Amino acid sequence: MKIINPATEEVITELQETTKVELREILESLHKGQVVWAKRSVEERLERIIRFGELIQVNVNELAEILTSETGKPLQQSLNEIKGAQNRIEHLRQNAEKWLAPETIVDSGSTREKIVYEPLGVIANISAWNFPYNVGYNVFLYALVAGNSVLYKPSEFASLTGKQFEKYLRQAGISENVFQCVVGDGSLGQQILKSDLDGYFFTGSHATGLHIATTVAHKLVPVQLELGGKDPLYVMDDVTDVKQAAINAAEGAFYNNGQSCCAVERIYVSEKIHDEFVDALVAEVKSYKIGDPMNLETFVGPLTRKQQLQVLKNQVADAKSKGADLSSGGKEIEGIGYYFQPTVLINCTHEMEVMKAESFGPIIGIQKVSSDEEALQLMADTEYGLTAAIFSNDEKRALNLLKELNVGTVYWNCCDRVSPNVPWSGRNNSGLGSTLSAQGIRAFVQPKSYHLRP
């Protein structure tokens, strides 16, 4: 499998894809290893994860360069991701023992009752490329601490990074029959669906997630899906610092080139501040440094996947044909690399793809609204349910709307944010189940109930 640098379009290296026979052997070894791994205490398992985190810290510069070279993520953002994802390890350090410990529910009377949390077994982690540290850690670190073995399939666009995870987990004392990183694209993923696994944990697009859930349904094993979004932001008329609101909104939309599951994908702005907000947002977007992602000053690099350029071009053409105006960008950047101009479309409506379908790129649609009711109705008009945000000076007014929305996460005066302390979950086409928080620890165990009569 050729690994392409999206900034230079050069082949960085070629990796040998995992074959069917290798996959079968790996799974046999993971099943054997899991039995031994599960017998270790949570503390012992956690020690290795903490060591892994230390190794990642020490090697952060090299790892960031690898991430940038295969995904085009600007180097500063690669460094941020690698350092930022350490908060998952800290969360596990503080919480894993508590949430994985047996619980005595009834300790008196004729029958004692307790719950023991047992690992699922060998789980598959089929993952995405856009934040490989964040979304990988959310699954495989939590699964390992809970006593599972992990078959990790990184995206074909982040395989070098996936191989680094394996290298440092190994150095941290996690053996090859407890964690294995396999290399391949969707066809290898398909083989994994046919294989003998005790749970499927997926991060990626709605289409693939739905395919996975339906394909493995007959196995009756846990399936968890972290999928895409079309996340709205509503900027209310009472915002006092409109310029700062626009800067924050732009960051939510354009960080990582808009390739975040919880990126701001559509903005509704009160008509009272609309023009001021748009002017400030466009000025901010025009100030972004675009170019070589290896340069620490770059904020917008190339897209990771070439095919996404066409999706963005289609969204721009569709929006323009239906009456939107282009305030900035709108075109692929000529030359080498998969670059697209940071794009702002105004006067958008829900007739347009840019307000309905996940863009996953440096493009934002803005629509003017005249009331909270109109904004709420538009925010709710989506098949996705990942996050929703409101910028306002009035917490009560914002929460009154946010509580009405069928999404897994809501933000007041912030956006595009994930924390290990609270669950990360999507509703409707954004997914099923939760990672992170206590729920994210318990996602990797199954309860066994004990009824004991001495």
Strands 149-153 and 231-235 come out as unpaired
Nearest distance in Å: CB 430, ligand NAD: 6
DSSP structural state of residue 332? B
Looking at the Cβ atoms of 227 and 242, the one nearer to ligand NAD is: 227
At 265, give phi and psi (nearest 5°). -110, -15
Residues with catalytic annotation?
Answer: 226, 261
283 CB-near residues (< 8 Å, 6+ apart): none
Q: What is the DSSP letter of 265?
A: E
Query: Are 279 and 150 a contacting pair, CB within 8 Å?
Result: no
Closest to ligand NAD by CB, 258 or 342: 258
Q: Residue 14 CB, nearest distance to ligand NAD (Å)?
A: 17
Which region holds residue 257: left if phi is over 0, alpha if psi is between -120 and 50, else beta?
A: left
Residue 165: CA count within 13 A, CB half-sphere? 31
Residue 7 or 227 with smaller CB distance to ligand NAD: 227
C-beta closer to ligand NAD: residue 6 or 291: 6
CA distance 413 to 233: 10
CB 122 within 8 A of CB 31: yes
Q: CB of 379: closest distance to ligand NAD in angstroms?
A: 18
241 three-state secondary structure: coil
Question: CA-to-CA distance for 27 and 33, rounded, in angstroms?
Answer: 10
Phi, psi of 72 (to 5 degrees): 80, 5
Q: State which residue, 124 or 285, has the beta carbon closest to ligand NAD.
A: 124
> In angstroms, what is the minimal distance from the CB of 363 to ligand NAD?
14
Q: Which residues contact 19 (CB under 8 A, 6 or more apart)?
A: none
**From the CB of 168, what's the least distance to ligand NAD, in Å?**
20
CA proximity to 237, closest of 279, 270, 200: 270
Query: Closest approach of Cβ 296 to ligand NAD, in Å?
Result: 24
In whole angstroms, how close is the CB of 453 to ligand NAD at the nearest point? 45
Give the separation between CA 37 and CA 32, rounded to whole angstroms. Answer: 9
**In the complex with ligand NAD, which residue's Cβ is closer, 85 or 172?**
85
Nearer to ligand NAD, 101 or 207 (CB): 207
Positive or negative: CA dihedral 450, 448, 97, 27: positive
Q: In the bound complex, what is the minimum distance in angstroms from residue 376's beta carbon to ligand NAD?
A: 23
127 vs 155: CA distance, rounded Å? 6
Where do contacts with ligand NAD occur on this chain (CB under 6 A)? 126-131, 135, 153, 155-156, 185-186, 189-190, 193, 203-205, 208, 211-212, 226-229, 261, 358, 360, 386, 424, 426, 431
The residue sitting closest to ligand NAD, measured at its beta carbon, is: 189
Gap between the Cα atoms of 272 and 268, Å rounded: 12
Q: How many whole angstroms separate alpha carbon 32 and alpha carbon 297?
A: 48
Q: Which amino acid is at 61?
A: N
Q: 353: helix, coil or strand? A: helix
- Count of CB atoms within 10 A of residue 331's CB? 14
Which helix (H) or strand (E) is 142 found in, with range?
helix 142-145
The answer to whether the beta carbons of residues 49 and 147 sit under 8 Å apart is no
Question: Given the complex with ligand NAD, which of 131 and 277 has the nearer CB atom?
Answer: 131
